[in-house]
Amino acid sequence: MNNPSTPSARRKARRFTMQALYQWQLAGAAVSDIEAQFLANQDFAKADREYFHDLLHGVPAQVKELDELLTPYLDRRVEELSQIEKAILRLGAYELKERLDVPYRVVINEGIELAKVFGADDSFKYVNGVLDKLARKLRYQEASERPFRD
C-alpha cells in the first residue's frame, strides 16, 4: 500500500533516498538490496514509497548522464565532491531532469535542506548554486516565467 504523495511524504522519501544513495556510492551494493534494507529498517509510514523507489532507481540508472549535466556547474571534479554533496546533487539533477511535476524551486529548496542537515557547514550554499544553475538549463521555460534573483 502506497502513501499519498504529499509534500511531507515526498520530503521523507527524498531524505531516505539521499541516505540510500550515499550508501550506494560508498558500498556499491545493488540498489535493490539497499532499497530492501531501507524498507525493512526505516519507518516509511509517512514517506512516499513510490517516489523513493523512482528516485533510488532513477539516479543510479542515469548517474553518468547526471554527472555530465552537473559538471559545468561544479568547481571541482564530481569525484572530488563529498559523498553527501554528490548524493544530494545527483538527486536534485535527477528531479530537475525527470520529475517535471515537481517545481524547480522545490527541488532546489529540498537539496538545500538536505545539505543543511547532512552536509558540511556551508555545503547548502554550494548545493544551492549548482542546482540553481542547472535549473536554468533544464527548466529554462519554467525558470523564465519566474525570474531568478541573483
Domain ranges of the chain: 7-140
Cα dihedral: 74, 79, 82, 86 (round 10): 70
Half-sphere exposure of residue 137: CA atoms within 13 angstroms, side-chain side: 13
Write the Ramachandran bin of 149: left for phi over 0, alpha for psi from -120 to 50, otherwise beta.
beta
Q: Say whether pLDDT at 146 is over 70.
A: no
State mean pLDDT over 20-49. Answer: 93
SS3 19: helix
Q: Say whether pLDDT at 3 is over 70.
A: no
- Predicted TM-score (pTM) of the model is 0.92
pLDDT digits (tens, 9 = 90+) for 78-137: 999 999 999 999 999 999 999 999 999 999 999 999 999 999 999 999 999 999 999 999
Gap between the Cα atoms of 88 and 21, Å rounded? 9
Q: Which CATH superfamily is domain 7-140 in?
A: NusB-like (1.10.940.10)
pLDDT digits (tens, 9 = 90+) for 66-77: 999 999 999 999
What pLDDT score does 14 carry?
Answer: 97
